[in-house]
Structure 1
Amino acid sequence: MELGLVHQLFGSARSSSSGGSGRSSGGEPLYSVVTCAVEPGMIRTDADFPIHAAHGPEVLARADTVVVPASHEEDESYVAAGTLPPALAEALDRVPRSARTASICTGAFVLAAHGLLDGLRATTHWLSADLFARSFPRVAVEPEVLYVDEGRVLTSAGEAAGIDLCLHLIRRDFGAAVAADVARRTVVPPHREGGQAQYIPRPVAEPAVSSTGAARAWALAHLAEPLTLAGLAAQESMSVRTFSRRFREEAGLTPMQWLAQQRLERARQLLEETDHTIDRVAAESGFGTGTSLRQNFQAALGVSPRAYRVTFRGFAGPDGADSGV
């Protein structure tokens, strides 16, 4: 799954065939996805089928992004050995300094053993987080989050979190509309923040009436309006305290954190797909004023709404060119 999702998600990213807001299967691929191994050929798996990698490590020298998926049999053995096998270390040395490197699940052990995570924050599968922290004391482990973005190096948790990480990278490169289109094609949630919990413990016998889904759907239909915690709780006929607890259990965020995230997503969509003024974008996404939108945009993304629009309005990459993986 960790290997297949990389091809599925990046391979589904397409430019707009019309130059407008809609995505189309007729658009051009935005990434070229190539799989390589230390030695090309058949690779044994823990399933009842092998994987054939046609390319060797030489292709890494021209990569823009390198994704290291989990190898459940070997990743954690690098801890005991204290170093990577020479052939694997040499392969990773081929990656250009300008490229991004990302890991899925226990692939983080490979990056850490090669020194790529020293002094940085990182995550891995929660079952392996304690071993990871003990083994790599120079890495600031965040054991509960879905993924960590440190710019040129990114790590993610278990298999499904790899989907979130790939969509995050697509959003970074080509904007929210392209990532949302990829998510629709793959039938997965379009966006989950990296700081959300890897898993949410819930009682086995929790009754079905605990769902807060109706409140979330109602909020999405009324983002432009002033929304309160009490108003959301009323949609489910719950007390604020009960609603807040159950919302956190189900969504991994507080209601207000989730609402801010959804409003930011709506603003990004409007900036990419419309010519609305900043004030109108702010009003339709629920931020109220252009000043509030600018403050929230800067805090969350590090750029102004205007700069974001300039970057993504044409659905090109950050440098105006396609990116490779």
Structure 2
Amino acid sequence: MSDSCRLPPCDAGADGELRPPAPSAVLQVVRMRAAGRTAVEDEVLEEVPVALSYNGVSHAVMLATPSDLEDFALGFSISEGIVSAPQEIHDMEILPGPDGIVIEMRIATPRFLALKDARRTLAGRTGCGLCGVERLAQAIRPVPERPKAGAPIALAAIDEALRQLPHWQPLRELTGASHAAAWVDAGGQIRLVREDAGRHNALDKLGGALLRSGLPVAEGFVLTSSRASYEMVHKAASIGATALIAVSAPTALAIRTAAAAGILLAGFARPGQLVAYTDAERLSGELPSADASRTFM
């Protein structure tokens, strides 16, 4: 591997065991302005290959920021339907190495057998004439419809969370490169945030953290610093969220999925404004006027 592609070094603890690298690195850069060029140090966000392995079988390799990896593994396992509850993951070990990080999980036998069957089915269809049609159908997984509408959400609570969010993003403050996913309670207070170079990874990390926390997920809402794709809606639904607020745009598929699942979806959220795409009747009160003195994102 050339120097230009070298992965960040793993740290060795006092016991000699390798630790995952830091989520950011200090690198030499050249800053250019009208006044000239300056060689300076800059904090840059890391991303490394992370392999998710179940009962010794590698399932997926993702590029992720090496922080909150336990939350990431749990959230990914839930959102992808590999397990249905944290208790079905019996053991988890994070194994850093020179080529990346392996997260080895031991899951319940019925879940592992189902995972093996799914993998075997996909492998067996590669030679069939209509396998593309079936794979396309599998790309859009159903989201369970909620039996009742989620709780009302005060517009003032969303506005307050938007004001708070930049102060909960230390990696973004350092590097300018990370996405954030936050869980916000009914009063507009951010209770949990996770960051990552990837927006899906950030939401998976948040999902894992929420599942561990015992917080009443359905009584608040998820706030993301990114756009809202179908996958973001699906991941939010998989952890029991009833509302997803995004600072950027949703896709049409995300809107249809949210409507089918009974999830409130809003986008273009800024202090003093947002666009509601589904379940707008659940938004109560009025948005405060945008304050030009506030800083956002």
- TM superposition score category, shorter chain reference: under 0.3
Please state which structure has a larger fraction of its residues in strand.
2
Could you say which structure has the higher helix fraction?
Answer: 1
Q: TM-score, normalised by structure 2?
A: 0.25
TM-score, normalised with respect to structure 1: 0.24
